[in-house]
Chain A
Amino acid sequence: MTVGIIIFPGSNCDYDCYYVLKRILGVSVRYLWHKDTDVSGLDLIILPGGFSYGDYLRTGAIAKFSPIMTEVKRFADRGGKVLGICNGFQILAETGMLPGALIRNKTLRFICREVYLRVETDQTPFTKLYVPGEVIQLPIAHTDGNYYADSDTLKELEEQGRIVFRYSDPFGNLDEEYNFNGSLNHIAGIVNQGRNILGLMPHPERRVDPIVGGIDGARLFESILELVAV
């Protein structure tokens, strides 16, 4: 099992991912520069959070043309698992690998806080170890995390069970007060039709080491890596 973590100019959560995978979960990890084109031997590619290219033009708009993205698409087309966290999700949406777009938070502000998420499905390689309906806590840290898609796309996501995480209250109820960025249908994370690409705005990599106050993100990585028998 080897994981590749892409570094775009402006990525800043790459080491958090590296630390969690290498030091906590003991997995082999390789950094990939955005100009690299060799993704051979990888089982999972992570697009980490940050502000690639300073969020110029639109979030993810310039990173999507990085040479490595052509290879990431090919990798995903062959069934390879791809995880986009925060800015990584924004980049995957820009490339069209995931539907919709992440627009400015309804508050117009950068929001950095703990949120409650309702896990919607365990039918993805990323959430096998969660129980549908359970509420977990992860931090968010973004200005553009307000999920938007047209009504046909939303309907498709709902019907195909591709919404993986929703912002909720501590009891799993969908309350607009807890939908801090204003996402449509409270969407925090979705998968593609093939269910091998996950994009989410919250940061699971920041809740794996117990020292930081929570480990709700751990099962996401453990699910993908099949470190724990299901």
Chain B
Amino acid sequence: MKATVLVRLKADILDPQGKAVLGILQNLGYTGVRNVRVGKLIEIELDDSRQEHPESQLQDMATKVLSNPVIESVELKLDDAGVRK
């Protein structure tokens, strides 16, 4: 099973990276761009046969290791079991 973990800075946290990308896009003439936020995408391969509860395991990994709940939110996407937020 493959999982994709999307890590985003929480909405109320200033994202200077997103701001810099927004700046260059606007400078290049992409005037329709209103806002940009930059996050992280982490791909994980799981051995299904060895995981009893892959979803809860992933959730655990996502909040304990892959993200810092103080500043980030996570979204899990499981290839075989559909999408779960």
Contact = CB atoms under 8 A, between A and B. Distances in A.
A58 B69 CA distance: 12
Interface residues of B, number: 11
Interface stretch (A22-30, A99-107, A165-173, A213-221): A99-107
Nearest to B12: A150
Interface centre among B20, B65, B68, B71 (most CB of A within 10 A): B68
Contacts of B13: 103, 148
A141 interface: no
A49 interface: no
A57 to B, nearest CB: 7
Interface string B13-50: 11011001000000000000000000000000000000
Contacts of A104: 16-17
Given A57-B66, A61-B65, A148 B17 contact: no
A65 B70 CA distance: 17
Contacts, number: 33
A120 interface: no
- A contacts with B: majority SS: loop
Determine the interface band of chain A, counting residues with CB < 8 A from chain B.
10 to 19
Contact of A108 (B17, B65, B71): B17
Given A57-B66, A61-B65, A106 B71 contact: no
6 contacts: A57-B66, A101-B71, A103-B14, A105-B16, A106-B16, A107-B16
